[in-house]
Amino acid sequence: MSLRGYLLLVRERWRIVTAGLTLGAGVAVAATWAVVPVYEAEVTLFVSAQDVNGDAAQAYQGSLMSQQKVKSYTRLVTTGRILQEVERRGLVPEPDSIRADVQPGTVLLTITATDPTPSRAQQLADAAAEAFRGLVAELEKPTSGAQPAVAVKVVEPARLPRTPVSPRPVSNGVLGVLLGLAAGVGAALVRNALDTSIRSVETLQDLVAAPSLGTVAFDPGAAARPVITYPSASSARAESLRRIRTNLQFIDVDHPARTVVITSSMPCEGKSTLTCDLAVTLAEAGRTVVVVDADFRASRIADYLGLESAVGLTSVLIGHASLEEALQPCGRRGMTVLASGPTPPNPSELLASRYVVDLLELLAARFDVVLVDTPPLLPVTDAAILASRCDGAVLVVRHGKSKKHQVKESVNALEAVSARLLGTVTTMTPRTRVSEAYPYRRAGDPETAPLPRTPAYRDHRA
C-alpha cells in the first residue's frame, strides 16, 4: 500500500485511529496518576591517590591507579556493608534505591539515592557517601599504619530535590500517544483486511462486469431536504446525478433502455432516493419520465415526493382504478409518479402476472423513460422478476455497507432470470476535497433547490 493509500485508510477509519489515540493517552494519564512520585539525590566523590613525596612520576602512577580502582569502587556502594552502615544511621533504604556510576576517563564517582520523600533521598545519598568513604579508607589503609594510598573526598554533597524523576507526564503522554496511534493504525489495517464491504469503484468493477454509472456523495442534510435537482441547483451532488443520467443514456445508443429497474442487494442502500433524484434529472433534461413504485414491502416514493399512495400500481393491476386515475404529476413538467397503492398479500405473484408486462409496455409507449423502484434483490424475488421484464436494471451499492458477497449474489440473481444489468451506482460515498473545493455553483445559488409541493425528506436511505 502506498503512502496515499495509508492516508486514505486513516481518513476512512478515523474512528478506529481516534479510539487508539484516546486509549493510549488515557492509559498514559492513568499510569502517571497511579505511580508514586520518586525523588533523586546525588553525591559526587573524587577518588585520588595520596602523593606524599610530590614526585611527578608517582603522581602519574597514582592517577592511573585511581582510575582503575574507581571502577571497582562502584561495586562497593551496593554491597551489604554500605547498606548496613546506612541503616545504623536510622535510614532504611529500599532495594536498589542506592546506585553508583563512574564518569568514563575520570576519577569522579556519583552515588545516587532514590526515595518517595525528597528529604530522605538527600539523607540516603549523604549517608551512603560517608559510609563509602569509611569503607575505602579501611580497605586502602596500609598494614604499617601509614596514610592510606587512596583518598575519597566529597566534591558536591547531595541537594534537596525539588521535582520528581518519576513519573514524567510529558514523556509518558508522548509515549502513550505514539503507542495509541500505532495501535489505532494497526487496528485500522486489521479492520480493513477483514472488511468485505465495497469501498471503491475499482473494487466494484472487479466484481461486476457491468460499468459503473457514477457515484453519489453522502449528504448529511438529505434527510431534511426534498429531491435535490432543479434548474438553479448546481451542487456537486447534482452534477454527479447528471453524470449518472448521461452514462445511463449512452450505455447502448442503438438500443436505449426505456424501462429501467432500480434495485439493490439489501435495504437501506439508497435505491429509492436515487430513483427520485434520477427521475428529476431526466425531467430536467426534457425527458418525460414516470416513476413506478413497485416496492410493495416498504414503499417510499410517495412519501418522499409528498404524494398520495392509497391509489397506485396495485389498484391498476387488480382493476380497482384506471391508469389515468393512478398517475400523479410531480414536481415539474415531464415527471409523473405511479405510487405503490395498497399492499397486496402476494407481491411476488402479482408482479409475475402478465398484467405487469402489459402495463410496462403501455407506460414505455407513453413516456420516454420508466423508472421502477423495487425491493432489494436478496431478501425477496420481486426485483429479479421485474428486471427480467424490463430493458435492464441498475444495481445500487452503498459505500462501506454493501458486502462483496452480497453484490455477487445480486448479480447472479439477475443472471439467473436473464435480466440485463445496465450498470452500478455507488451511493453515500465520502465527500472528497475536490468535490468540496469545486462545487460548480454560481454565487448566490443555493446548494439545492426544492421541488414544488414536496415536503422534507424523512429518510434518505431507502
Measured CA to CA, the distance from residue 213 to residue 253 in angstroms comes to 15
Dump pLDDT digits (tens) for 325-371: 899 988 667 899 999 888 888 888 888 888 889 999 999 999 999 99
What is the residue whose three cell numbers read 608517582?
A: 58
Q: Supply the pLDDT for residue 39.
A: 93
Peptide bond into 167 cis (omega under 30): yes
Confidence of residue 66 (pLDDT cuts 50, 70, 90): low
Measured CA to CA, the distance from residue 82 to residue 99 in angstroms comes to 11
Is the confidence at residue 406, as pLDDT, over 70? Answer: yes
What is the residue whose three cell numbers read 474512528?
A: 15
CA-to-CA separations, 198 to 202, 265, 400, 414, 416, in angstroms, rounded:
9, 12, 5, 19, 23
Region 382-404: mean pLDDT is: 91
**DSSP single-letter state for residue 223:** G
Which residues are paired to 424 by β-bridges? 212, 395
Residue at 72: amino acid letter: S
Burial class (CB in 10 A: 0-12, 13-18, 19+), 266: middle
Measured CA to CA, the distance from residue 83 to residue 310 in angstroms comes to 95
Q: Supply the pLDDT for residue 353.
A: 86
Burial class (CB in 10 A: 0-12, 13-18, 19+), 322: exposed
Q: Supply the pLDDT for residue 230.
A: 47
Number of C-beta neighbours around residue 52 at 10 A: 9
Dump pLDDT digits (tens) for 1-15: 677 777 877 777 888
Confidence of residue 293 (pLDDT cuts 50, 70, 90): very high
Dump pLDDT digits (tens) for 199-257: 888 888 888 989 999 998 887 666 545 455 444 456 777 888 889 999 988 887 777 88
Dump pLDDT digits (tens) for 157-176: 899 998 888 888 888 899 99
Confidence of residue 51 (pLDDT cuts 50, 70, 90): low
Model confidence, pTM: 0.63
Q: Supply the pLDDT for residue 303.
A: 85
- Inter-helix orientation angle 271-284/236-249, to 10°: 80
Region 299-304: mean pLDDT is: 86
Number of C-beta neighbours around residue 32 at 10 A: 18
Mean predicted lDDT score pLDDT of the chain = 81
Number of C-beta neighbours around residue 310 at 10 A: 11
Burial class (CB in 10 A: 0-12, 13-18, 19+), 78: middle
Region 72-95: mean pLDDT is: 81
Q: Supply the pLDDT for residue 68.
A: 66
Is the confidence at residue 147, as pLDDT, over 70? Answer: no
41 neighbors 125 (Cβ within 8 angstroms): yes
Helices assigned H by DSSP within 2-114: 3-12, 14-34, 56-77, 80-88
- Report CA 333 to chain centroid distance, whole Å: 44
**Domain annotation for the chain: domains and CATH numbers:** 3-35+167-193 (no CATH), 39-156 (3.30.70.1130), 198-437 (3.40.50.300)
Helix (H), strand (E) at residue 247: helix 236-249
**DSSP single-letter state for residue 310:** S
Give the contacts of 271 (CB within 8 A, at least 6 positions apart): 262, 263, 264, 373, 374, 376, 396, 462
Measured CA to CA, the distance from residue 335 to residue 332 in angstroms comes to 6
247 neighbors 423 (Cβ within 8 angstroms): yes
* Beta-sheet pairing, 39-49 with 108-115: antiparallel
What is the residue whose three cell numbers read 580497605?
A: 139
Q: Supply the pLDDT for residue 234.
A: 60
Q: Supply the pLDDT for residue 54.
A: 52
Q: Which three cell numbers stand for residue 66?
A: 585511581
Give the contacts of 148 (CB within 8 A, at least 6 positions apart): 50, 136, 137, 140, 141, 142
Region 6-32: mean pLDDT is: 87
Measured CA to CA, the distance from residue 356 to residue 390 in angstroms comes to 10
Dump pLDDT digits (tens) for 101-124: 887 777 788 999 999 999 999 999
Is the confidence at residue 456, as pLDDT, over 60? Answer: no
